[in-house]
Amino acid sequence: MNRTDAFVAPVARKHADQHGAVENDDAAIGVSLPHESAALHVSGEATYTDDIAELQGTLYAALGLSRHAHARIVSMDLDAVRNAPGVIAVLTADDIPGENNCGPVLHDDPILAADEVLYLGQPVFAVIAESHELARRAAALAKSDDVVRYEPLEAILTAAAAKAARQFVLPPLHLRRGEPDAKIAAAPHRLSGTFEVGGQEQFYLEGQVAYAVPKEMDGMLVYSSTQHPSEMQQVVAHMLDWPAHNVVCECRRMGGGFGGKESQSALFACVAALAAQRLRRPVKLRADRDDDFMITGKRHDAIYEYEAGFDDAGRVLGARIEIALRAGYSADLSGAVATRAVCHVDNAYYLSDVDIVALCCKTHTQSNTAFRGFGGPQGALIMEVMLDGIARQLQLDPLDVRIANYYGVGERDTTPYGQRVEDNIIAPLTDVLLDSSDYRTRRAAIAAFNAGSPVLKRGLAFSPVKFGISFNVPFLNQAGALVHVYKDGSVLVNHGGTEMGQGLNTKVAQVVANQFGLPLSRVRVTATDTSKVANTSATAASTGSDLNGKAAEAAARTIRTRLAELAAQQLGGHADDAQFAHGVVSINGGAMPFEQLVGAAYLARVQLWSDGFYTTPKVHWDAKTLTGHPFYYFAYGAAVSEVVIDTLTGEWKLLRADLLHDAGQSINPAIDIGQVEGGFIQGMGWLTTEELWWNRDGRLMTHAPSTYKIPAVSDTPAAFHVQLYQNSNVEPTVFRSKAVGEPPLLLPFSVFLAIRDAIAATVPGAQHAPPLRAPATPEAILDALDALQSASASEPAAQPATTDTTAR
């Protein structure tokens, strides 16, 4: 037991009603307390960046966007824009005093395009006007040929085209273990194919927005809707050629980030700050939805090639997988995304001999970026598709092939990247879910239904998740917090994480309240602010509460220890024995209210505030060999989904979903269940309805909800059974909880696989996997139905060759 554990406050771990029973007494760990801003969210009082009361003199910015996917800028004549009604200024790259770059890793992301445009939608100039409306009208003049003259250059738009041209934003990643080629060649069965999955727009409800306020002595306060205030501070400082201490970035909350505000809030923060610095007036830049779609990157879409050799039980003996990700025009976070994809190909399965290549294809499209799962979903999906194909070739239930391939416990437990899986609970978790979802009985019932139903076909599928937790760049796994106890015993917490709806602030407040034995109402969490905690990491990789919860706990523990020592001086006994509970501190048979002890501490000149710092233990990574221990631990889950498809129209419906997810010992089950439900529905949107489509010129045509369909509440299945798996983290994380933000996004693989299962039911006994691409839109479903029919008719059953792609 380490010092941390010995010091954990008494935990009143209550069995909470997972959907709501609300208790607000002290030591509120493991209790379904409502989100700290729930009342504000529903009443509309919650302040988002655009709601901040505007200062007098505030101006509004809008961006003029490129009309070509790839072109040289021949000339710009911005007079018409300058002369448009309400326009105060028009800024270009030439107005940037420092570095014209807002890239998070490489310096390949211009804030405003200078000589060349690299995608259609790239900001070329910024208009500052008296209102948003006037700024946007003037910016729309960018559509005119007379304003910016271009010499169009050849554009590469797809991952396939970039791969053929060997155009990459970063060198290929290659991980190899064992002798996959020999194992595949010697295997009793083989399968090869291709597959493709689309990208996904983050579609945060609150779009990208920044409000920059100039301060005295070259200071700048930037309110930004961002997952990464420290990086916004840094890029703004670089852009203005200022030291970082001149810039403060603040974010109270986001209306969703989903990865889309991990790096790509930067362009908006920079343009607002540039305008504010040039004009010495507060400037707000709020992208409208269409511009947000056109400017910012999305989840990386991918094309895959794979080959596997396997035995009669469907156990994979050797596999080769190539993932070509569409990175877009710049590197952004693609290197880390591709690395996470490589490290999630295995998902829950042991791959003894494997070759994995990931390509970051350079295309003249938006620069793809973080999106919930961060490449993990793109990695794991191909494994699930491959196992589905293997099962169909062997005429086995895909469930059994999955189980046959699971990581073992104490054997068959090393990942391709060399980390042992030491906390494997996937087998018992699967047993619980198969039982509660009645999988085997329903499998038989569905077969009977399909036998008697020529048009409507049902499908059922199970899929597991194993997701690695930690930033896969080790140094990012650090966090800080600042806790103040005021003289009246009220507590203020600041930490480096950001609130985007996921409930981070609620969990951190619970942790701090627990340290002091106070009700949650006595703890207030403030806006994230770079002047309070310096050099923070993005709130990302699902690590928000793991990192900031621990940092805040450490800060609170320092104060608590000081208070305990004072209590021991005043009441006798040993400081280690002090109990903080129900708003009272007790020791040596005596007791006093928390605020009384705090008051005494102030008079005794005891420091009542403290910082706290945390670094994740154990993580290391060798980026050259792609091996190491990138994850502190793994989070697990599994899902069973049942769908019905209409084979005439390609329409489908999710009838029932059963999810079982491992959040360790949940700090707040209601919040964690919300994350599981939301992640599942969001991932289902990615794999079914959300389709990004660029035309031949590289223009994204699906840039608004009219043409881009995210799931609605009506897409929730009528039967939706969501449970947390009773588990405790083997690692000493904050209250033995586990990160929960991203892993559930992989649970709806089961929905996609259930649709494949329903398609497969149209050709009973077919050994071909339905060649269904993702997203499984009605068109994709109809294509797969057709292709399955013709493949089954034309090819001898003994020689199955699957191709999962339908050429488009």
Measured distance CA(250)–CA(225) in Å, rounded: 8
Under the criterion CB under 6 A, does residue 504 sit at the interface with ligand MTE? yes
Q: Give Cα separations from 211 to 63, 87, 130, 254, 262 (angstroms).
A: 15, 18, 14, 14, 17
Smallest gap, in angstroms, from Cβ of residue 760 to ligand MTE? 32
Measured distance CA(763)–CA(792) in Å, rounded: 8
Smallest gap, in angstroms, from Cβ of residue 759 to ligand MOS? 31
Site for ligand MTE in 657-686 (CB under 6 A): 675, 678
Pick the closest to residue 417 from 459, 379, 448, 465 (CA basis): 379
Residue 336 contact partner, candidates ligand HPA, ligand MOS, ligand MTE, none, CB within 5 to 8 A by sort of partner: ligand HPA
Under the criterion CB under 6 A, does residue 472 sit at the interface with ligand HPA? yes
Pick the closest to residue 501 from 13, 124, 4, 38 (CA basis): 38
CB 722 within 8 A of CB 670: no
* Contact with ligand MTE (CB under 6 A) among 198, 501, 717, 770: 501
* Contact with ligand HPA (CB under 6 A) among 541, 578, 638, 747: 541
Residue 295 contact partner, candidates ligand HPA, ligand MOS, ligand MTE, none, CB within 5 to 8 A by sort of partner: none
AA letter at 21: A
Pick the closest to residue 184 from 75, 87, 90, 306 (CA basis): 306
Pick the closest to residue 64 from 173, 161, 146 (CA basis): 146
Measured distance CA(494)–CA(224) in Å, rounded: 17
User: Which of 309/497 has CB closer to ligand MTE?
Assistant: 497
Under the criterion CB under 6 A, does residue 517 sit at the interface with ligand MTE? no
CB 236 within 8 A of CB 273: yes
Q: Give Cα separations from 191 to 314, 405, 597 (angstroms).
A: 11, 16, 70
Site for ligand MTE in 534-553 (CB under 6 A): 539-545
Under the criterion CB under 6 A, does residue 389 sit at the interface with ligand MTE? no
Smallest gap, in angstroms, from Cβ of residue 20 to ligand HPA? 31
Residue 782 contact partner, candidates ligand MTE, ligand HPA, ligand MOS, none, CB within 5 to 8 A by sort of partner: none
From 417-425, 500-508, 572-580, 792-800, span contacting ligand MTE (CB under 6 A): 500-508
From 256-264, 269-277, 331-339, 386-394, span contacting ligand MTE (CB under 6 A): 256-264
Token readout for 171 is 């060198």
Measured distance CA(13)–CA(21) in Å, rounded: 14
Instruction: List strand residue ranges (DSSP E) for 431-539, in order.
Output: 456-469, 478-485, 491-495, 523-525, 528-529
Site for ligand HPA in 372-391 (CB under 6 A): 374
Residue 543 contact partner, candidates ligand MTE, ligand HPA, ligand MOS, none, CB within 5 to 8 A by sort of partner: ligand MTE
Pick the closest to residue 623 from 182, 173, 90, 40 (CA basis): 173
Under the criterion CB under 6 A, does residue 320 sit at the interface with ligand HPA? no
Q: Which residues bind ligand MOS (CB under 6 A)?
A: 227, 259, 262, 370-372, 374, 540-541, 742
The binding track of 334-353 with respect to ligand HPA, each residue x by CB under 6 A or -, is --x---x-------------
From 11-19, 360-368, 472-480, 795-803, span contacting ligand HPA (CB under 6 A): 472-480
Catalytic residue flag (residue 742): yes
Measured distance CA(643)–CA(456) in Å, rounded: 10
- For ligand MTE (CB under 6 A), the number of binding residues is 21
CB 222 within 8 A of CB 282: no
Which residues form the interface with ligand MTE (CB under 6 A)?
Answer: 256-259, 372, 500-502, 504, 539-545, 675, 678, 739, 741-742
Residues at the interface with ligand HPA (CB under 6 A): 262, 333, 336, 340, 370, 374, 471-473, 476, 540-541
List, by residue number, the catalytic residues. 742
